[in-house]
Amino acid sequence: MANPVFSFISQMVRKLAMAVLIAALALISFSLWLFVQERSTYEERHEHLTATNRVERARIGEELAELNTKNKEATALLTVQKQRAALAEKTLKNLHEADPGVIDQLFGNAEQLKTHESRVARVEAIQAAAQARRIELERAVMVNEQTKAPLEQELSELENRLSALQNEKYEAEHYLRNAWLEARWFVIGVFLTYLFGGLLIAAALYYGWANWVSRGRVMKLTAENPGRPTVRESAVLAEDSLWPGEVLWVRQRFLHANDDGLTRRKRIVLDWRRPFSSFAAGLTRLVELRNGRIDGERRVVLACANDPFAELAIVSVPEGASFVLRAGFLMGLIANAEQRPVIRRHWCFSRWQSWVSGQFGYIEFTGPCRLIVSCVSALQAETLVAGEENKPGSVRTAQEGLVGFSPQLELQAVRSLSFWKYCRRRAPLFDVVVTGSGALLLRDAQGRGRDGFRSRFLKQAGL
E strand or H helix at 195, and its extent? helix 171-204
**Is the same domain home to 135 and 268?**
no
Nearest CA-CA partner of 344 in 222, 460, 457: 222
Q: What is the largest CA-CA distance in the chain?
A: 151
**Is the same domain home to 314 and 189?**
no
Contact present, 234 and 378 (Cβ < 8 Å):
yes
**Is the same domain home to 401 and 351?**
yes
Find all residues with CB under 8 Å of 229, minimum gap 6, and list them. 315, 316, 317, 318, 321, 323, 367, 406, 439
Q: Is the pLDDT at 449 greater than 60, yes or no?
A: no
**Is the same domain home to 174 and 299?**
no
Structural domain count, the chain: 2
Pick from 8-22, 61-75, 247-261 the range whose average pLDDT is largest.
Answer: 247-261
Q: Is there a domain that residue 188 lies in?
A: yes
Average pLDDT over residues 136-153: 82
Q: Is the pLDDT at 463 greater than 50, yes or no?
A: no
- Considering the entire predicted model, what is its pTM? 0.62
Domain that holds residue 70: 15-196
Cα–Cα distance, 347 to 361 (Å, whole number):
5
Q: How far is CA 197 from CA 41, 189, 191, 203, in A?
A: 40, 10, 9, 10
Helices assigned H by DSSP within 294-448: 352-357, 419-423
pLDDT digits (tens, 9 = 90+) for 405-423: 999 899 999 998 888 888 8
Average pLDDT over residues 143-163: 81
Q: At what angle do helices 110-167 and 42-97 cross, to 10 degrees?
A: 160
pLDDT digits (tens, 9 = 90+) for 341-360: 888 888 888 888 888 888 88
Looking at every residue in the chain, the average pLDDT score rounds to: 81
**Is the same domain home to 339 and 412?**
yes
- Give the residue from 147, 170, 196 where a domain finishes: 196
* pLDDT band at 373; cut points 50, 70, 90: very high
Nearest CA-CA partner of 356 in 207, 453, 203, 212: 212
Q: Is there a domain that residue 61 lies in?
A: yes
Q: Is there a domain that residue 8 lies in?
A: no
Q: Is the pLDDT at 320 greater than 80, yes or no?
A: yes
**Is the same domain home to 296 and 343?**
yes
Q: Is there a domain that residue 385 lies in?
A: yes
* pLDDT band at 106; cut points 50, 70, 90: low
Q: Is there a domain that residue 216 lies in?
A: no
**Is the same domain home to 347 and 436?**
yes
Ramachandran angles phi, psi of 231, nearest 5°? -120, 130
Q: Is the pLDDT at 24 greater than 60, yes or no?
A: yes
Find all residues with CB under 8 Å of 421, minimum gap 6, and list them. 427
Find all residues with CB under 8 Å of 362, minimum gap 6, and list them. 221, 324, 345, 346, 347, 348, 407
Cα–Cα distance, 217 to 134 (Å, whole number):
72
Q: Is there a domain that residue 133 lies in?
A: yes
**Is the same domain home to 428 and 308?**
yes
Q: Is there a domain that residue 203 lies in?
A: no
Contact present, 261 and 294 (Cβ < 8 Å):
no
**Is the same domain home to 183 and 234?**
no
Cα–Cα distance, 108 to 113 (Å, whole number):
8
- Report the CATH number that the domain containing residue 141 is assigned in CATH: 1.10.287
**Is the same domain home to 119 and 247?**
no
Q: Is there a domain that residue 407 lies in?
A: yes
Q: What stretches of 263-401 adopt beta strand conformation (E)?
A: 263-269, 284-290, 298-302, 311-317, 322-325, 330-336, 342-347, 361-366, 369-375, 379-384, 393-398
* pLDDT band at 37; cut points 50, 70, 90: low
3-state DSSP call for residue 173? helix
Ramachandran angles phi, psi of 282, nearest 5°? 80, 10
pLDDT of residue 448: 46
**Is the same domain home to 181 and 119?**
yes
- Report the CATH number that the domain containing residue 386 is assigned in CATH: 3.60.160
**Is the same domain home to 170 and 276?**
no
